Structure 1
Amino acid sequence: MEPIAVVDEGLGNSSYLLDLGDGRAAVLDPARDPRPYTGRAGRRGLTVAFAVETHVHADFVTGTRELAADGAQIVAAAGAELAYPHRGVHDGDRVDLGGLVLEAIATPGHTPAHVAWLLRDGETPLGVFTGGALVVGGMARTDLAGRERTGELARAAYRSIRDRLLALPDELPVWPTHGPGSFCSTDATGERTSTIGLEKAGNPLLVGDPDEDTFVARLTAGFGSYPAYFDRLPTENQAGPRVFGRPWPALSLPDLDVDAVQGLLARGAQVVDARPIDRFARGHLPGSISDELRGQFGTWLGWVADPSRPVVLVVDDDQDVDELLRQALTVGVEDIAGRLGGGIEAWRAAGYEVHTLPLIDVDAVDRQDVLDIRQDTEWQAGHLPHAAHVELGALAGGADVPVSGSTAVMCAHGQRSMTAASLIARGRGDSRGLEVVAGSAEDWAQATGRDLEDGA
């Protein structure tokens, strides 16, 4: 029995809808918006009866409580210490789904109380939901429960994989939660599902049957930075996120006139501009953060926005506000005051200052300083000679900007660069001297015929 994968490409995660064969369904690791699960279930004549967690999530707000509001039973590890009604299970416990059974396998590592779920039909194993304990080509990182526990949990992960998961049949399907594009994962391939045998043979963490020290060294070497909101969501998921109920999301996005926006800014609100970067480049509110609405909007919103301050949005009428709210709520950004009514033109018409931030082509990168704000792994794979480097997430965290003159900011496409440039401009108080490169290092090399440098 193959579960239905519900993939969030922006977060790089998969949830699973499992048809129980009796008009009911179970959902594994649901994200906050219940509609992808209830919608798919409804089209198949199913009711979601179980909402099952492998672990306390750091990268998204759990959707179990939304599904529970519709009658589902929440099932999670007892050690997760959830502060809301649920069925807590221990290692070896079995949850009868009405013919099918989920058996809890304690697999600490990614989180201290992580469990994998072995799906059985009677005594016949059908597959295993591994959460972050084993992903395709890697496993999920062990430093999210506190950096001081990284090594301890990495060693626990070694034992979880070697003694528990690899003891399962080679042909058994592996259904992970984390996958390509997830900041929770390490060394993941482009695939989202696998088998135990394929992971034994091809997972870089497991090649050569490593001892514990070798495994830990391989695993922790793959850790890069992760979004700032990862540090707060586990606590919020344990305590129990707010339930919105139906219709979802019950969160309005009122139009705010210019005076209302000015009042909010005076009281500490922040402006997030979700328009495409070419529109932001032509004109935006001073001090606003560019975060173009796309699959990764929510991840970067959670990383660069201050969770203690209300958000005022700038969006255009042709943008999908429902998708914007879905992503914001998925990463726990709920204090959204509204949108600037009339957009940037209303702001300009009221006589207020509008800033610009030029977009330039790669072949225009010449004499100015270059600031590359990609992740370390991207930078090391190839960058412009003599470019300075600091990750976008570090800029959001207050890192010093290593350039001060006329600066071209670049990433892989331009969206992250515009976010970075907007943060730098906000810190400086103006955007003069900043330009954003609409292209990648590879585009620059192709356009100029020059070689990139690699390595740290």
Structure 2
Amino acid sequence: MFFIDTIDLEGLGNRSYLAGGRQAAVAVDPPRDVDQVLAVAARRGVRISYVVETHIHNDYVTGGLELARVTGAVYLVPAAARVSFARVPVADGDIIAVDGGLELRAVATPGHTPHHTSYVLQEQGRSVAVFTGGSLLIGTVGRPDLVEPRLTEQLARAQHASAHRLAAELPDETPVLPTHGFGSFCSSAQAEGDATTIGKEKSVNAALVQDVESFVARLLVELDDIPAYYAHMGPANAAGPAPLDLTPPAVADADEIAARLAAGEWVVDLRNRVAFAEGHVAGSFNFEADGKIATYLAWMIPWGKPVTLLAESPEQLAAAQRELVRVGIDRPAAAAAGTPQQWVREGDRPVSFPRSTFAGLVEHGTDGIVVLDVRRDAERAAGYVEGSVHIPIHQLHKRLGEVPNGTVWVHCGGGMRAAIAASLLDAAGRDVVAIDDGFEAAEAAGLSIVTG
């Protein structure tokens, strides 16, 4: 008998896996906070004998090297991946005995990266699952443009061929277990549903239902923006990430918070957007702990700039710190848990800004105000509010000077990014209203939507 346990990294939109038998297991694409994987192995009562990487990751810092170190497991990395640490190279066709009759078979599936490798889990020679990393995903494939722009078309063609190889070699009932596709920007599109098989993908996956020319042409057109922090993830993983430190950061009082703001550092408020709008430290930015904090904070903050975290509880701080180490923001400069009244110096008061909806925008009227759309280019291409200004959220902190004069009503697709944008504008001294509403409500409210 075998088991497969899934470790969800919801903030990054990824999954990691632990698969094994009665005594031993293999960890696939583990996160940097390896205590999660160790806890799963402990519950199963198995030792981790192998740690495998499907590829050198571009969207998060791997825990593979550290997990192998603390468990004594063999660390398997695709042979063609250029790394600076000791590992056991894996090549196409290699068989790794995991536990009894349970084994992994390496299958070269280039496309997401040139060295990408999938692993077929076999029990007594029968294929029972395939770990596809960033190759074949649920309804799509991993994007091919993260390694080198000049290789993008070549890797897109390789993705098509790799998907067809998996479909040809594996039974239709084989579960497909990808690492990406659940919100990660490593995916060329987002998954619909959370489970699939080779047979299902044969009928719905563009890589398997389109010819290579049609697939490549469409894939290249639909590629989305690349988070800026991705530029740092591949090199960190190739060099070998340092062990993480999740001990609590130094506690900041009101004077230190003010001093750090005055020094141009980032002070990030993790509370929900409603609470932030009602009262916050002037100059602080709002990245909700329950949102995609790791993706958007790492995307927007100048790399290496000190960050101070503010939260409503120590638990919220700890959870955010865990999210951030996964993307290489290792140690907050300082932190504080409590309320805005505790974070401002004596004699100062928290500041606020209003929230509204698209219906509220219609009621107010658009004359004399700025409607700012902070969605990505691909989202705006599907439809936008007539007369609105467009600056994607990940560019806004560098383009604040381009926002026209006047009160800014800012929106995104659901409210979270609008809250980030509103906090940036508020910190810059602009009058702002955060539209906390789904974009689908814009047309229903009576706004004119431009499409095409």
**Do these two structures clear the TM 0.5 threshold for a shared fold by scoring above it?**
yes
Deviation at 1:42, TM superposition (A): 1.2
Structure 2 Cα separation of the partners of residues 58 and 399 of structure 1:
28
Question: 1:105 corresponds to which residue?
Answer: 107
Residues 6 and 15, structure 1, Cα contact 8 Å, conserved in 2? yes
Match of 1:127 in 2: 129
- The corresponding residue for 2:37 is 37
Counterparts of 1:124-163 in structure 2, within 5 Å, are: 124-163=126-165
Is the Cα–Cα contact under 8 Å of residues 34 and 66 in structure 1 kept in the other structure?
yes
In the alignment, the residues of structure 1 paired with residue 314 and residue 356 of structure 2 have an alpha-carbon distance, to the nearest angstrom, of 25
Distance 1:268 1:163 in 2: 52
1:267, CA displacement in angstroms? Answer: 4.6
Amino acid in the other structure paired with 1:371: L
Give the residue type in structure 2 aligned to 1:118.
Answer: V
Q: Distance in 2 between matches of 1:12 and 1:238?
A: 22
Distance 1:399 1:128 in 2: 46
Whole-angstrom CA distance in 2 between matches of 1:285 and 1:165:
54
The match for 2:450 is 453
Name the counterpart of 1:176.
Answer: 178
Give runs of aligned pairs for residues 40-79 of structure 1, distance below 5 A. 40-71=40-71, 72-79=73-80
Q: How does 1:315-394 map to 2 (within 5 A)?
A: 315-317=311-313, 320-340=316-336, 343-352=339-348, 354-365=350-361, 366-367=365-366, 368-394=369-395
Q: Is the 8 A contact 2:206 2:215 kept in 1?
A: no
CA distance in structure 2 between the aligned counterparts of 1:39 and 1:295, rounded to whole angstroms: 25
Residue aligning to 1:189: 191
Q: Which region of structure 1 is more displaced relative to structure 2, 96-105 or 125-134?
A: 96-105
2:50 aligns to what SS in structure 1? strand
SS in 2 for 1:206: helix
- Range moving further from structure 2, 111-120 or 364-373: 364-373
2:235 is the alignment partner of 1:235: yes
Distance of 2:85 and 2:268 partners within structure 1: 33
In structure 1, the residue matched to 2:207 is 205
Query: Could you state the TM-score of these two structures normalised by the residue count of structure 2?
Result: 0.91
1:256 paired residue number: 252
| Shift in CA distance, 271/305, structure 1 to aligned 2, threshold 3 Å | same
Give the superposed CA RMSD.
2.3
The secondary structure found in structure 2 opposite 1:126 is strand
* Secondary structure of 2:207 counterpart: coil
Q: Could you say which residue in structure 2 is the equivalent of 1:442? A: 440
Deviates more, 1:378-387 or 1:323-332: 378-387
Q: Paired residue for 2:97?
A: 96
- Tell me, yes or no, if the aligned pair for 1:139 and 1:188 is still in contact at 8 Å: no
SS of residue in 1 equivalent to 2:99: coil
Query: What secondary structure, in the 3-state scheme, does the structure 1 residue paired with 2:202 have?
Result: helix
- Contiguous gaps of at least 5 residues in structure 1: none
1:215 CA displacement = 2.0
Spell out, residue by residue over 1:324-378, the C-alpha distance to the aligned partner (whole angstroms, 9 max, x if none): 1111111111131111465421343423475433212332212222111122333
Distance 1:398 1:346 in 2: 32
Separation in structure 2 between the aligned mates of residue 229 and residue 166 of structure 1, nearest angstrom: 36
Could you tell me the percent identity over the aligned residues? 34
Q: Which residue of 2 aligns with 1:298?
A: 294
What's the CA shift for 1:159? 2.3
Query: Could you say which residue in structure 2 is the equivalent of 1:7?
Result: 8
Is there any run of 5+ residues in structure 2 with no aligned partner, and where? Answer: none
Query: How far apart, in 2, do the equivalents of 1:402 and 1:142 lie?
Result: 33
- Report the TM-score, using the length of structure 1 for normalisation: 0.90
Which residues of 2 match residues 272-287 of structure 1 at below 5 A? Answer: 272-287=268-283
CA contact (8 A) 2:309 2:317 kept: no
Q: Deviations over 1:29-72 (max 9, x none)?
A: 11111232222221221222222110111111111133123213
The answer to whether the 8 A contact 1:166-1:200 is kept is no
Partner of residue 117, structure 1: 119
Distance 1:268 1:278 in 2: 25
Q: Who is 1:421 aligned against?
A: 422
Conservation of the 8 A alpha-carbon contact between 1:114 and 1:133: yes
One-letter code aligned to 1:356: S
State whether residues 258 and 344 of structure 2, in contact with CA within 8 Å, keep that contact through their aligned partners in structure 1.
Answer: no
3-state SS of 2:450 partner:
coil
Q: Is the counterpart of residue 269 in structure 1 residue 265 in structure 2?
A: yes
Structure 1 residue 214 displacement after superposition: 2.0
Distance 1:24 1:2 in 2: 11
- The amino acid of 1:332's aligned partner reads G
Tell me if the contact between 1:274 and 1:315 (Cα under 8 Å) persists in the aligned partners.
yes
